[in-house]
Amino acid sequence: MPCPKLKDFLDRNEIKYELIHHPTTYTAQLTASSSHVTADELAKVVMVSRDGTLAMAVVPASRRVDITALHTASGAVSLRLASELEFKQQFPDCDAGAMPPFGNLYGMEVFVDEGLVKQARIAFNAGSHDEVMRLAYEDFVRLVQPKVLSFASTAERPPRLRLDDRIW
């Protein structure tokens, strides 16, 4: 079942949404695949500390948050990734790491990468690791009023050296 706060909010605002059940997953790419949603349509929420206040950075699951770009684009004095210990208590009705991108329900700013604007629909974790909600992107914008910026990167993580990869 989706987090009650989100479901109630959407129902009160008469928003049409689809609830997609899928096997339990813990990464955005696996969630997209198991819920049969494209990685460009699935929104990934990354929690950041912006000038000492928690905020949501939302990017397509196919991309990564570029902290430097978000820092610059948001006009923050300081910006860093938030630890789970910092934000877990803010979402008592959600599984850790499965928060929906509705920061307005939790008293925090939401920054959305411009890559999601191109989508007709947005899908996201519904508060658990086995349910995704999908609704019209325009409904999401109307309810959340996120700040749209350019801060996603397609860059892969640099490869990690293994013990076998010694340089001689």
The model scores a pTM over 0.85: yes
Q: Does some domain include residue 161?
A: no
Segment 69-106, tens digit of pLDDT: 999 999 999 999 999 999 999 999 999 899 999 999 99
Q: Does some domain include residue 160?
A: no
Q: Does some domain include residue 27?
A: yes
Segment 1-43, tens digit of pLDDT: 789 999 999 999 999 999 999 999 999 999 999 999 999 999 9
Q: Does some domain include residue 145?
A: yes
- pLDDT band with cut points at 50, 70 and 90 for residue 165: very low
How many separate domains does the chain show?
1
Q: Where are the alpha helices (DSSP H) in 36-83?
A: 67-74
Q: Does some domain include residue 35?
A: yes
Segment 32-69, tens digit of pLDDT: 999 999 999 999 999 999 999 999 999 999 999 999 99
Q: Does some domain include residue 159?
A: no
Per-residue model confidence (pLDDT) at position 155: 54
Q: Does some domain include residue 168?
A: no
Whether the predicted pLDDT of 161 surpasses 70? no
Per-residue model confidence (pLDDT) at position 154: 84
Q: Which domain holds residue 54?
A: 4-154
Q: Does some domain include residue 162?
A: no
What CATH number should be reported for the domain holding residue 56? 3.90.960.10
Calculate ∠ Cα 43-118-35, nearest 5°: 35
Segment 108-145, tens digit of pLDDT: 999 999 999 989 999 999 999 999 999 999 999 999 99
